Amino acid sequence: MRLFIAINLPDEWKEVLAQPKESIAWLGKGVRWVEPDGMHLTLKFLGDVDRGLIDSITTSLRTITSSINSFHIRIAGTGVFPSPRRPRVFWAGVSAPDELTILQQGIENAMGALGFQQDEQPFKPHLTVARIKEPIGKKRITDAFLRFRIRSDLFQVSRISLVRSHLKSDGARYEELQAFPLTSIVNTDHQNL
């Protein structure tokens, strides 16, 4: 089973994340826009997982989430990986308190203890909006995307999900296998988000 751990997004965010495609897609070809219904904030990609590991994964996630308070996040800004000169991914940034980094690092460490490869790059919370091959009008569409103002209302993260990815010829379909609630104390210190 192809699995990952993520935060599922509210419908209002999906509408916000669809705006760049609706506004600037005509500026360049060769850009594959991600459908908003398929967007999520990935905390850890596990890849192909043996069914025998599912119980260990869920036990670890239950332990981690029981010690993390609920918190707020919001969409803020745009960017590209790896650079504006060589764009491969357009992304929307996620502004979040320290709880998100603590949560992701706990997941990273726990999955590493179960034998999953650790990510070498530091965690940068983002939502993939589009993937770029070699588009016509690359500079023009990249410049427009980087100027695009994407901002959302606050969203309270109260759970994370273990998600199965079903790869199909027309794209991936996602199935939530299990949800793991965070503790119910809400972080009210979100003025800087």
And the tokens for 88?
Answer: 């491969």
Distance CA 18, CA 100 (A): 24
Asked whether 130 and 115 are in contact (CB, 8 A), the reply is no
What values do phi and psi take at 57, rounded to 5?
A: -65, -50
> Could you give the residue numbers annotated as active site?
40, 126
Distances (CA, A) of 172 to 39, 77, 101, 187: 11, 26, 27, 34
Do 25 and 75 contact (CB within 8 A), yes or no?
Answer: no
One-letter amino acid of 89: V
Count CB atoms within 10 A of the CB of residue 187: 15
> Under a CB-based contact definition with an 8 Å cutoff, are residues 87 and 12 in contact?
no
